[in-house]
Amino acid sequence: MDGKTTERGNVKERTGKVLSARMDKTIVVAVDRLVQHPLYGKTVRRTKKLYAHDEQNRCHTGDVVKVIETRPMSKLKRWRLSAILERAK
C-alpha cells in the first residue's frame, strides 16, 4: 500500500474526505478503495471510516485531507491529520 519510511519504520498514509468535524480535536475521514469482486471481476468501491486527531480543529466537513498512522490516542483514534489537501467549497 501507500506509505512512507521514517526512522521508526513504515508509516501508513491515507487520503480521504472529512465526514464529520463535530468532535473536539477529532475528525472522521472516509477513505475509499477500489477492489475487484472475487467471482465476477467487477470493480467495487469499499469505504472505511477512520477517526483522526486534529489538534487545532482546522478541518471542516467536506475537506480532502491526508492522515498518517500513529499510536492509539483513544478507543477508536489511531490516525493523525497530516495535511489539508483541498478545502470544502
User: What are the structural domains of the chain?
Assistant: 3-86 (2.40.50.140)
DSSP code, position 74: S
Average pLDDT over residues 58-85: 97
Of the candidates 64, 78, 84, which has an alpha carbon nearest to the alpha carbon of residue 18?
Answer: 64
- Whether this prediction's pTM lies above 0.75 is answered by yes
Cell triple for 21: 468535524
Q: State CA 20 to chain mean position distance.
A: 12
What is the band of 72 on the pLDDT scale with cuts at 50, 70, 90? very high
CA distance 47 to 44: 10
Return the pLDDT at 1. Answer: 57
